[in-house]
A and B are shown apart, each in its own frame.
Chain A
Amino acid sequence: SQQGEEDPQALSIQEGENATMNCSYKTSINNLQWYRQNSGRGLVHLILIRSNEREKHSGRLRVTLDTSKKSSSLLITASRAADTASYFCATDADYGQNFVFGPGTRLSVLP
């Protein structure tokens, strides 16, 4: 089934460093979304990138999409301890289908 798979499963960096997470999926998509989840909380939508877009920015976030490789990356620049969370990508395969979340990347930003 259509599913995004994030890589790496876990990432630990120092405050101020950049964090890069990747998402791969299996079939063509309409759009891809990234979400953040703090421990014990609900998910928060970060950014949506459509299949005809290659790059999108939002504050310290940069998302790229390569439909030929069926992959996306999320870059968080100048990370802060508050960025510590799990990050999920969500993809939808066809019009009318609900999207599917990957297992997530757990990011730890150490002060």
Chain B
Amino acid sequence: DGGITQSPKYLFRKEGQNVTLSCEQNLNHDAMYWYRQDPGQGLRLIYYSQIVNDFQKGDIAEGYSVSREKKESFPLTVTSAQKNPTAFYLCASSIDGVSRSGGNQPQHFGDGTRLSIL
């Protein structure tokens, strides 16, 4: 079955530590996204990538880094510079970032990684 796989499901970070969240998709989608969700709130965009080897900052990129070396993979690193990392992290993908007719395409989501501080 095609889909997006996020791992691990739960992750704990020690102070001063960098941690990496994995996101893999087998949908052959060009665009991939990382969102942060805090309790009772909507999603905030961290980073997005519309094509391999290219990515752009979203609204809350500080303290995070990404890479897009393969079409299928878009890992997110939460660095020690992110002082409040506790949240639910969601990865998504879409066929492309924006359709030729204008407007964003539907996004497919993984089941998230819940990150907590030890």
Contacts and interface: CB of A to CB of B under 8 A. Distances in A.
Interface stretch (A14-22, A44-52, A58-66): A44-52
B98 interface: yes
Contact of B108 (A45, A88, A100): A45
Interface in B53-76: 58
Contacts of B107: 43, 45
Contact of A43 (B41, B90, B97, B103): B90
A31 B109 contact: no
Contacts of A101: 35, 42-43
Contacts of A33: 104, 106
Contacts of A48: 106
A92 B97 CA distance: 11
Main secondary structure of the interface of A (DSSP, over half): loop
Interface size of A as a range: 20 to 34
B58 to A, nearest CB: 7
Given A43-B109, A95-B98, A102 B33 contact: no
B104 A30 contact: yes
A75 B54 CA distance: 39
Contacts of A30: 102-104
B85 interface: no
Interface of B: 4, 6, 33, 35, 40-43, 45, 48, 58, 90, 92, 97-98, 102-104, 106-112, 114
Q: 3 nearest interchain CB pairs?
A: A30-B103, A42-B109, A31-B103
